[in-house]
Structure 1
C-alpha cells in the first residue's frame, strides 16, 4: 500500500510499504479521510518534534521512519483475534492518543502520552492498525469526511471544559487557525454569548465568523488590541484562549480576561516566552493549559459532531490525493492563509 512516511526534516515520501497483521487487540482500519494537522506540518518543516528518531517510543515502540497522520476516520477491514465489540465494516473515528492508562481519565494524558501517526504508524496510508480501545463507533449514515475532523474538534472541546465555560459567558480567542476556529465553534455550542476572535488574517477572521464568532479584531487595523477587546467586553472576557503561540498574544490574553476569569493556553510554543507572574496575581486570572483531551471528551466530541451540535464542515477547505501531500498539502498550508483543514482522500487507496 502507499503511505506518506516521515524520514526526516523536509523528507516525507509517498512510497509503498507493508502493513503487518493486526495484533490480537487491534483492528485494521481502511482509512477514508485524513486531516493534515499543524503538528504534521511542524514535523515536515522542523522535525523531529514528537517523532522518535534515536530510540523507540516507550509507549508504542515506534521509531522513524514513521507513517504520519493522526486525524483520520475509516472503516474496519480486519479484526484482531481478541476483538469482539466491533465488526468488519463498522465506521469509526480514531482517538490517536496512547497513554499508560494508570491515572484517572481526566489526568491520564499528563502522565505521559504518545500519538498514533507521530510515534507509531498512522493514517496517511490506505490502511492502519489501531488498538481497539482507541476506536469510537460512528453512525453508518454520518459522513466519514466530516468524521476526520473529530480529533482536532476534541482538542477544542477539552479547551472549553478547562475554562469551566457556562451558558451566557463571554470569550476572546487569540488565533483563528484550525484549532482557533474549532474553539470558536465549541464556545458557541457551549452557550457563549460573545465570542471575540483576534487574528492578523482577514481570511481566517471571516472563517471564524462562519464558525460562530460574534466579533472579530485584526491587530493590523487597531492601535491597541486590548483596548479594542475591552470596547466589546468592558469587563473583560470570562475566558481567553491563547492559540497563536507568541509572546504578544500571551500578554494580551491575560489583559483581556476579567478578574478571576480563566486564560487557557492551547498553543504549542515553538520558542520560549517570558511573562511577569504579577500580571496574573494582580488580576486574579486563573492560568491553565491543555494538550489533548480525555477519553470522555473524545466520546462527547463524537456525539457533538455526529449530532450536528458542532458544525465542522466550514473548517474543511481542500481535499487532495495522498500523492500530492507535499505540493498541495504542506506547501499550500505554509503559504496560503485561506486554508484551514486540508483532508487527504484515501477512499481509493489500496
Structure 2
C-alpha cells in the first residue's frame, strides 16, 4: 500500500510497497479519507525533536525512523476485530481517530491507504459531520482541552496569542464556552481576518499596539483578563501573557517551543498567577468537540485552506505551510486522490 514515510529532517518519501496492516482482535481497520498536516509535523520536518532515530528508539514502543506519519485522521471503517463490540462500531461507519498513545504499541499513521487502531480510540461521526470536518476534531480537541484547563467561566475575558490552527481553535472553543471578550494578538492580516470570523471580539496587531495595555484597558476594572492562552510559544508572548493576565489569573501554554527562552518567574509570583501547560487531550475532550460541532457551537470549515493529494504533500503541503504560513491555516490530504 501507499504510505508517506518520515526518514529524517526534510526527508519525506511516498512509498508504494508498504505492507498493509493486519487488524488485531481489539482493533478497527480504517481507510483514511482526510488527514491534516499538523504544526508538530512541520516541527519534525524542519528539525526533528520527537521522532526517534535508530540510535535512540522510542522508549515505549521501541520504534525508530522511518515511520508513517499523520495523526489528524478521519476515514471509513473497513474491518472490525473479533473482540470489538459491533454495537459500538460497524463496517462503513465514518470515524475520527483519537491519536493517543497509551497502549504501548503504536502502528503507522494516517497518511497511508490503511491503518489499524484500537477500537477505544475510534469515534463515530454523527451524520451531519463530513469527513473533512472529522479530520479537524483531533486538532480542535487540543484547543478544547486548553480552554477546559483554563477553568473558563461564562463572562470571562480571554487573551489569546497567535491565530494559527491552534489559536483559531482556541478562539472558537472560548466562544462556545461563553467568553465575554476574546482578545487575539496576531500580526498576520490574513489570520487577523480569520480570528474575527471565528469569534474574536478584539484583534490586536502587536507590531502596532501594546498588547498588555490593550488587554488591561479592555477589562472592566483595568486588571486584565482572567485567562491568557499562549499558542505562539515565543519569549515575548510568554512575558506579555504574564504581564497582561490579572492577579490570580491563569496563563495556559498550548504551544510547542522550538528553543529554550529566558524567563523571570516573578512575573507569575508577584501576581499569584498560575502557569499551566497543555500537550494533548483526553477522550472527553475529543467527544466534547464532536458534540460541539454537531450542535454548531463550533463551525470550523473555514480553517481548511487547501486540500491536496498525497503525491504532492511536500510541494503543496509542507513547503506551502512553511513558506506561506500567513496564507495557510489547515492543509488536508484527500486520501482518495
Which bin holds the TM-score, normalised by the shorter protein?
A: over 0.9
Deviation at 1:194, TM superposition (A): 0.4
Give the aligned partner of residue 191 of structure 1.
178
SS in structure 2 of the partner of residue 62 of structure 1:
coil
Query: What does residue range 110-129 of structure 1 map to in structure 2 within 5 Å?
Result: 120-129=107-116
- Check the 8 A contact 2:107/2:115 in 1, yes or no: no
What's 1:231 paired with? 217
Quote the residue 1:52 is aligned against.
Answer: 52
* Offset of residue 307 of structure 1: 2.5
> Unaligned stretches of 5+ in structure 2?
none
SS class of match (2:207): helix
Q: What do the CA deviations read for 1:48-101 (whole angstroms, capped 9, x no partner)? A: x2212225434444322111000010110111222223211111110001126x
| Per-residue CA distance 1:186-239 (angstroms, 9 max, x = gap) | 0000000100000121111111111110001111112x3311222323320110
The one-character-per-residue Cα deviations of 1:161-189 (angstroms, maximum 9, x if unpaired) are 11100101100001111000100000000
Give, in whole Å, the separation in 1 of the partners of 2:53 and 2:82.
Answer: 31
Q: Give SS of 2:272's match.
A: coil
Is the Cα contact below 8 Å between 1:62 and 1:120 reproduced in 2? no
Cα distance in 1 for residues equivalent to 2:12 and 2:163: 27
TM-score w.r.t. length of structure 2? 0.94
Q: Which residue of 2 aligns with 1:285?
A: 273
Contact 1:61 1:120 in 2 (8 A): no
Separation in 2, partners of 1:62, 1:303:
34
* 317, 332, 337: which one aligns with 1:343: 332
Q: 2:199 matched to which residue of 1?
A: 212
User: Superposition RMSD on alpha carbons, in Å?
Assistant: 1.5
2:107–2:116 Cα contact (<8 Å) kept: no
Residue 97 of structure 1 corresponds to 100
253-262 or 79-88, larger mean C-alpha shift: 79-88
Spell out, residue by residue over 1:322-345, the C-alpha distance to the aligned partner (whole angstroms, 9 max, x if none).
111000000000011110000111
Write the distance in 2 (CA, Å) between the matches of 1:27 and 1:174: 38
Aligned to 1:107: none
Q: Distance between the aligned counterparts of 1:292 and 1:20, measured in 2?
A: 26
Q: Is 1:255 paired with 2:280?
A: no
- Conserved 8 A contact 2:156-2:180: yes
Task: Tell me the TM-score normalised to structure 1 length.
Answer: 0.91
The whole-number CA distance in structure 1 between the counterparts of 2:193 and 2:30 is 36
Asked if 2 retains the 8 angstrom alpha-carbon contact of 1:60 and 1:120, the reply is no
Q: How many residues align?
A: 330
- Contact 2:33 / 2:336 at 8 angstroms: preserved in 1? yes
Task: Tell me if structure 2 keeps the 8 A contact 1:60–1:98.
Answer: no
Q: Quote the Cα distance in structure 1 between the aligned partners of 2:59 and 2:77.
A: 27
Match of 1:151 among 127, 138, 142: 138
Q: Structure 1: which 5+ residue stretches go unaligned?
A: 101-113
